[in-house]
Amino acid sequence: MAGCCTFRYGTVAALTRSLRVGEQCVRMFEGYRLPKYVCSIIRATPQRSISALGVLRDQEWPVPPFGTHASSPPLARRPSHPLGIIKTSIYEYLQKADPALKTFDDLYPVVTVKANFDDVLVPADHVSRNPNDTYYVSDATVLRCHTSAHQLELLKRGEPAFLITGDVYRRDSIDSTHYPVFHQMEGLRVLGPEDWGSMEPTQYAETQLKQTLEGLAQHLFGSVEMRWVDAYFPFTEPSFELEILFKGEWLEVLGCGVTQQSIVDDGGFAGRKAWAFGLGLERLAMVLFDIPDIRLFWTEDSRFLSQFKAGSMKTKFKPYSKYPPCFKDVAFWLSDSFTENNLCEVVRAVAGDLVEEVKLIDSFTHPKTGKTSHCYRIAYRSMQRSLTDEEINELQWTVRRDIENQLKVELR
């Protein structure tokens, strides 16, 4: 269930491995523009079920640009990677408490719009359906926005208890905690009259859900103060967020709720109840391992990877370098179609992982023309080396050119 961590994937192998991060944006595919850098994140893998969707037949996805090779397992399937360590710890705890839970780590990331939105009751006018937020492959298919896209699929297979882990994709801002790809875990458990007995079914499902997730939070964080906050997710009712008191502040850990009855019924479990939860692995790993920048999860630098050991949740990341940032500002008059997500897509398409943050630092509306100007500060920083003035100036020139050409704004 994608409650607390939402949505994304990249385009197709027609954008081949020769495409480099930093090349100007994009290929048109059935009317949608998909950045090359997003495509390059997607791991080479056989097409399998994609042919059934009627698109991208007999192709392969390009290799990620961060030194990861096609033969390497995805991050969350590497036992000694921070994401793999957390995933395994959660699996072990939940499967010990409920051996019926099955795990799914390799479900295909390109899904139908119906599976991604309609099947989990996302309203037709919800902002997440907008191409400004979600990567569309075609009118009928998207790059998985959340692991909830597989809920109904698995229920219809007759699976009553499962955990799903996968990489999901979102067009988003650029800073130390946001990235166009992250990893999510989904859990769902179907319950029957044999479980709730004389208790009211929804109340029983809520009680078991909360007990399960409170135990998981204690497993990960130790003895901590917790609280439940009422929330809204279209696919659960009632819905909740679990927060823990961590280092003096309340920290959201996950979203969850009692699954909407129509989803349970459509999945072939009429007359039963279910609960579901969703959490972000990067978010937990950054907190538990003191990892300060989400880009680090994608590095192949041994100075990072060697600090972590399969099965060990006690590691605290020790920074091995802190190269200086370089700041560049860009100001422009907005166009009617401008969005900040589109700006971040353009900047990341040019600079890749060399961009650390894009931040609005000034907004001005002309008193006579009514036109609005924004000024954004772009922070460039490499985690491996010092950047030269020449390469930053070249990147910034390209960013300015692409902002003007692609976003139809007027530079100042």
Instruction: Please give the angle made by the CA atoms of 89, 226 and 162, to the nearest 5 degrees.
Output: 40
Long-range CB pairs of 324-327 (<8 Å, 24+ gap) are 324/381, 324/386, 325/356, 325/379, 325/380, 325/381, 326/379, 326/380, 326/381, 326/387, 326/389, 326/392, 327/377, 327/378, 327/379, 327/380
Q: CA–CA distance from 85 to each of 6, 91, 256, 284 (Å)?
A: 22, 10, 22, 11
pTM above 0.95, yes or no: no
Q: What is the predicted pLDDT for the residue at 38? A: 55
Q: Please, which pLDDT band fits residue 32 given cuts at 50, 70 and 90?
A: very low
Q: CA–CA distance from 224 to each of 239, 242, 388 (Å)?
A: 22, 12, 46
Residue position matching structure tokens 């809920």: 151
Q: Among 3-12, 355-364, 401-410, name the one with the lowest average pLDDT.
A: 3-12
Q: What is the predicted pLDDT for the residue at 40? A: 53
Q: According to the per-residue pLDDT averaged within each range, which of 28-32, 86-90, 248-252 is highest?
A: 86-90
Q: Does the pLDDT at position 404 exceed 60? A: yes
Fold match flag (26-297 vs 326-411)? no
Task: List the beta bridge partners of residue 327.
Answer: 379
Q: Please, which pLDDT band fits residue 226 given cuts at 50, 70 and 90?
A: very high
Which residues, including other chains, have CB under 8 Å from residue 345's CB and lie 6 or more apart?
25, 35, 171
Q: Please, which pLDDT band fits residue 35 given cuts at 50, 70 and 90?
A: low
pLDDT tens-place string over residues 285-327 = 999 999 999 989 988 889 999 999 999 999 999 998 788 999 9
Which residues, including other chains, have CB under 8 Å from residue 360's CB and lie 6 or more apart?
340, 374, 375, 376
Query: Which amino acid belongs to residue 339?
Result: T
Region of 356 (left: φ > 0; alpha: ψ -120 to 50; beta: rest) is alpha
pLDDT tens-place string over residues 271-281 = 999 999 999 99
The superfamily CATH assigns to domain 26-297 is: Bira Bifunctional Protein; Domain 2 (3.30.930.10)
Strand segments (E) across 170-325:
181-191, 226-233, 236-246, 249-259, 273-280
Residue position matching structure tokens 């219809």: 156
8-state DSSP, 123: -
> Average pLDDT, whole number, for the chain?
83
Q: According to the per-residue pLDDT averaged within each range, which of 130-134, 166-170, 341-345, 393-397 is highest?
A: 393-397
Contact of 154 with 95, CB cutoff 8 Å? no
C-alpha to C-alpha distance for 69 and 164, rounded to whole angstroms: 24
Q: Please, which pLDDT band fits residue 178 given cuts at 50, 70 and 90?
A: confident
Q: Does the pLDDT at position 217 exceed 50? A: yes
C-alpha to C-alpha distance for 49 and 222, rounded to whole angstroms: 41
User: Three-state DSSP class for 336?
Assistant: coil
Q: Does the pLDDT at position 28 exceed 60? A: no
pLDDT tens-place string over residues 94-121 = 999 999 999 999 888 888 999 999 999 9
Q: Does the pLDDT at position 370 exceed 60? A: yes
Q: What is the predicted pLDDT for the residue at 7? A: 24
Which residues, including other chains, have CB under 8 Å from residue 156's CB and lie 6 or more apart?
266, 267, 268
Q: Please, which pLDDT band fits residue 138 given cuts at 50, 70 and 90?
A: confident
Q: Does the pLDDT at position 356 exceed 50? A: yes
Q: Which two tokens stand for residue 132?
A: 């400004």
Contact of 62 with 15, CB cutoff 8 Å? yes
Q: Which two tokens stand for residue 298?
A: 């994608």
Which residues, including other chains, have CB under 8 Å from residue 390's CB and lie 6 or more apart?
none
8-state DSSP, 136: B
**What are the sequence ranges of the domains in the chain?**
26-297, 326-411
What's 326-411's CATH class?
Answer: alpha beta
pLDDT tens-place string over residues 36-85 = 555 555 443 333 333 333 333 233 333 233 223 333 568 899 999 999 99
Q: Among 2-6, 100-104, 190-194, 292-296, name the one with the lowest average pLDDT.
A: 2-6
Q: What is the predicted pLDDT for the residue at 316? A: 95
**Buried residues in 251-270 as b, exposed as e (16+ CB within 10 A):** ebbbbbbbbbbebbeebebe
Q: CA–CA distance from 112 to each of 118, 135, 153, 292 (Å)?
A: 9, 12, 11, 35
